[in-house]
């Protein structure tokens, strides 16, 4: 009998990630695909897959288009994820990444998702309430909102979860992020552009990033993680601020790298790791994803090796 899920990921706008390798890709010309790979994805689905690969019992919920659900069903079976998704008419959106290894460039083409409404969100809310009753502890709310749902959707879900004493991780952007930030999610992981947009001022240098993160902590957030691409990430909790710098890596795909960091943060929190250890582990998860094609992680031994190569330093107050 499968263990009851301790972690739940919520994906209101899941996606199929299609990666195509096109050497010397040229807009306006005929391009030849060398190889192609399609993966069930979306931010919450990726987080769930990564955590399941590291031994966690995870449930997935959110909204999927019924017209192309097969890839998701296959992934959920492979990863032993408890499927609590709500299927709606239409097809789940496709995100295309054109990888050009010659010029070392990636071109993104993102299709729109299915249109949904309040009844669909209500069905997801019911699934979340059922998972609360099964004693799920951590809820990860990730990704954008589909057409038809208001920016307040994550805000309302977080209020429900916090009223029931659950831990919440929020990883979104734009109006949905602004609307939800004052509900007190336990963890947020904006990238530097998302944080800059939220605070409405340039964030130049580590000190400015830490100050912005401290402002957010005063609004009821325990841990703020700001990802900065090749410059690493800054982790800020109540006691300290830590910068984590990744080791050099040959990037095969950026699909799921941010989601891998979220998975590493959740794994670290469940293991009660100190902030510097959390920063190393979450960064290693992200670096590991960069070396894989599609939303995947290498073996645990590889992640542990990368972890030892992550350089951390405390940012003094």
- Which residues are the active-site residues? 259
3-state secondary structure of 4: coil
3-state secondary structure of 138: strand
Return the closest-CA partner of residue 21 out of 111, 82, 103.
103
> What's phi and psi for 133, nearest 5 deg?
-65, -25
Q: Report how far apart the first and last C-alpha atoms of the chain are (Å, whole number).
A: 49
Task: Give the separation between CA 224 and CA 238, rounded to whole angstroms.
Answer: 10
Return the closest-CA partner of residue 146 out of 169, 165, 121, 122.
121
CB atoms within 10 A of CB 53: 17
Helix/strand/coil percent split, the chain, to 5: 40, 25, 35
């Amino acid at each position: 009998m499968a263990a009851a899920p301790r972690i739940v990921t919520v994906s209101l706008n899941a996606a199929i990630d299609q990666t195509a390798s096109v050497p010397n890709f040229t807009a306006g010309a005929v391009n030849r695909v060398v190889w192609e790979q399609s993966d069930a994805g979306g931010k919450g689905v990726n987080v769930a897959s990564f955590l399941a690969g590291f031994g966690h019992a995870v449930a997935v919920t959110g909204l999927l288009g019924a017209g192309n659900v097969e890839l998701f069903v296959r992934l959920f079976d492979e990863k032993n994820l408890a499927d609590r998704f709500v299927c709606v008419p239409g097809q789940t959106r496709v995100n295309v990444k054109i990888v050009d290894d010659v010029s070392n460039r990636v071109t993104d083409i993102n299709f729109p998702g299915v249109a949904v409404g309040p009844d669909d969100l209500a069905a997801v809310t019911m699934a979340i309430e059922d998972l609360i009753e099964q004693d799920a502890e951590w809820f990860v709310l990730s990704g954008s909102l589909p057409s038809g749902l208001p920016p307040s959707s994550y805000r309302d879900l977080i209020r429900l979860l916090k009223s029931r004493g659950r831990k919440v991780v929020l990883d979104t952007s734009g109006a949905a992020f602004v609307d939800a930030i004052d509900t007190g999610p336990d963890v947020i992981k904006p990238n530097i552009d998302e944080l800059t947009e939220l605070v409405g001022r340039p964030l130049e240098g580590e000190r400015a990033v830490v100050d912005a993160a401290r402002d957010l902590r005063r609004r009821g957030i325990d841990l703020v993680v700001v990802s900065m691409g090749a410059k690493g990430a800054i982790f800020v909790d109540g006691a300290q601020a830590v910068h984590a710098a990744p080791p050099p890596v040959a990037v095969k795909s950026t699909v799921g790298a941010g989601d891998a960091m979220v998975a590493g943060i959740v794994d670290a929190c469940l293991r009660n790791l100190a902030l510097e250890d959390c920063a190393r582990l979450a960064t290693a998860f992200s670096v590991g994803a960069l070396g894989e094609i599609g939303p995947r992680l290498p073996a645990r031994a590889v992640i542990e090796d990368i972890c030892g190569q992550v350089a951390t330093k405390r940012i003094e107050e």
